Homo-oligomer: A and B are copies of this chain.
Amino acid sequence: MNDVTKTLTQRRQVFADNALLFYDEPVYFTRAQGVWMYDANDTPYLDAYNNTVSVGHCNVEVVEAITRQASTLNSHTRYLYDTVLDYAEELLKEFPEDLSKIAFTCTGTEANELAMRIAKETTGGDGFIVVGNAYHGCSNATADISPYGSDGIVSASNVRALEPPNSYRLSNAEIEQNFTDGLRQCIKDVENNGHKFAALIIDATLEANGIFAIPTTYLRKSQEIIREAGGLFIADEVQGGFARMGDRMWSFERHNVTPDLVTVGKPMANGLPMGGVIGTADLINHFFRQHHYFNTFGGNAVCAAAGQATLRFIQRERLLNNARSVGKYLFDKCSKLMDKHEAIGHVRGAGLFIGIEFVEDRSSKKPAPVMAKAVMNSLRHHNILTGLAGQFDNVLKIRPPLIFDKANADQFLDTLNLVLSLDLRPATLRP
């Protein structure tokens, strides 16, 4: 048995039979460094997908911070220790002044759970509004507000979903109109269902929708509607935070809004589980006065040290600039590929977060999920890691570590160009 067959067999025994696994032919990895992951033959794969390791796989400074802290002290926030407080201070400086307090959690799911609890406590309501096809987590309440995880369906009576701001199929004016009208209607709907409006939760990158990250005016207008209705504006920065978008540290900033609560997760500690809710002093203090909230591992010293090393690396190495410049290069060249490859319907995104939407043809804009999946699997066979996003799984998701450089971008672009020139139909369907 080779390594892949062996681990697949082992995996089927200990995990659920169909626990999620990437690619038609899964990859077995043994080590990783920077933007590279290596299989059992030490073949390098270019990582154009993993945002959890935003300062690079096995980043030496992060590993050193983890080792130092793990061998010195690891504890929880019911005792006093420096690391988590110093890190909190450094992190909060990256936020607008009003967002002055943080509560640490272990994951983005837990952060959104806490944000929902704070919204419920603050407003006395439990009506939540999200974007159609959004994903906000894997727990009960966050699954309720995650149409993406439920095949697009919103079934909870306290949740309503808005039409996604699809910048490929709608004009900016249409987006603003649809979104704000929809928001007003959704607020009415949840309240008619007996659920006072609590909050709009939105990932401003619209990742699960296929990265509709072009900021227009719709969020600013929405914020006024939310305030009038007495609800909160929660920005889910699990995808778009920590310099990903190239121009600003947080994706909400690109929309000129200041949320009431911000949730963070994934890239926060470069691969260790860490998340948090950042909010105004009033909101955070009020909630903690009402509830004995405690998260055992939230802000533990080892994850805090990893988070601190990650943030400092982002700052010192100016990864915001790198995401902007390499991202722009990648975006422009991807757009150029449209001249040669009809299957590409739309290229969008910002910074190192780019979506390439595949369509049957450009006039109908009919989604081409089979094509998108074939491209992803072919890229994997050419040793490049990407993923899919969007309501129809027809958007190639490019979201590499933030240290991705121009040479990496060129390798990606050359390989994508090659792959798109191949006949990707299954052998049986080829002429």
Contacts and interface: CB of A to CB of B under 8 A. Distances in A.
Interface of A: 4, 7-8, 10-11, 13-22, 26-32, 37, 50, 52-53, 57-58, 60, 62-63, 66-67, 70-82, 85-86, 88-89, 92, 100-103, 106-110, 113-114, 116-117, 120, 138-141, 143, 149-150, 265-266, 271-274, 284-285, 287-289, 291-297, 300, 302-303
Contacts of A284: 15-16
A14 B140 contact: no
Given A272-B272, A300-B273, A58 B74 contact: yes
A271 B73 CA distance: 10
A88 B11 CA distance: 9
A342 to B, nearest CB: 31
Contacts of A29: 73, 75, 79-81
A102 B58 contact: no
A52 B76 contact: yes
The 4 A-B residue pairs with the shortest CB-CB distance, nearest first, are A16-B288, A273-B297, A113-B139, A14-B88
A284 B12 CA distance: 12
A19 B192 CA distance: 36
Given A78-B20, A79-B26, A141 B140 contact: yes
Given A32-B75, A66-B70, A103 B19 contact: yes
Nearest to A92: B14
Contacts of A291: 143, 149-150
Contacts of A13: 89, 100
A366 to B, nearest CB: 24
Given A8-B80, A10-B89, A113-B139, A102 B31 contact: no
6 contacts: A17-B289, A22-B79, A26-B79, A67-B67, A107-B295, A149-B291
B77 A58 contact: no
Nearest to A104: B15
B110 A73 contact: no
Given A16-B287, A74-B271, A287-B16, A140 B138 contact: no
A314 B292 CA distance: 32
Given A11-B80, A75-B37, A140-B117, A297 B272 contact: yes
A75 B52 CA distance: 8
Nearest to A293: B138
A127 to B, nearest CB: 14
A116 B92 CA distance: 34
A78 B18 CA distance: 11
A21 B78 contact: yes
A114 B107 CA distance: 14
Nearest to A266: B296
Given A76-B52, A79-B26, A88 B15 contact: yes
Contacts of A103: 15-16, 19
Nearest to A11: B85
B77 A295 contact: no
A57 B79 contact: no
A143 B113 CA distance: 10
B140 A113 contact: yes
Contacts of A82: 7, 30
Contact of A80 (B7, B78, B79): B7
A22 B72 contact: no
A20 to B, nearest CB: 5
Contact of A19 (B22, B28, B139, B288): B288
Contact of A303 (B16, B67, B273): B273
A373 to B, nearest CB: 15
Contacts of A108: 296
B74 A57 contact: yes
Contacts of A293: 19-20, 138, 149
A302 B274 CA distance: 13
Contacts of A78: 20-22
Residue from A52, A114, A140, A300 with most neighbouring chain B CB atoms (10 Å): A140
